[in-house]
Structure 1
């Protein structure tokens, strides 16, 4: 399957970025308009809202005829399980 090695390598890189940290990915922004998506991502990167850019995940959910392509920006939110 084309790109499988790249996807596995990317998943391993993301998992190793937060060793021992439990958490979840929270959706910050989602749209089906590519221009709006690019403008929002550019604003976030320029404003330096997040201290660590690796806490952001950019997803492109490929669409088909029935379902359009969706663009999503998520941020890693660590769990506060410690009392």
Structure 2
């Protein structure tokens, strides 16, 4: 069935993210932009520089725009609370 691998991968990542629900901490926004190319460049630079150690701690959001509100892209990282 077309697209099943993508859906399965998405479900696995969502399950990993749900494991963060009970952990103390917060999601901190690193980038919020309306430019898709800037969004992609930022993500590639994060991975190239080794800033991402665990992909489950990074959240990539795309807020779909309509006529009045443009599409917005956001990169957030989970910051655990100090012990």
Which residue of the other structure, out of 13, 18, 27, is the alignment partner of 2:16?
13
1:44 maps to what in 2?
46
Distance 1:19 1:29 in 2: 22
Q: Which stretches in structure 2 are left out of the alignment for 5+ residues?
A: 1-6
2:66 maps to what in 1?
64
Normalising by the residue count of structure 2, what TM-score does the alignment of the two structures yield? 0.75
Secondary structure at the counterpart of residue 51 of structure 1 = coil
2:4 maps to what in 1?
none
Normalising by the residue count of structure 1, what TM-score does the alignment of the two structures yield? 0.75
Q: Structure 1 runs of 4+ off > 4 angstroms?
A: none
**Contact map agreement 2:25 2:79 (CA 8 A) in 1:** yes
Aligned length: 73
CA-atom RMSD in angstroms: 1.9
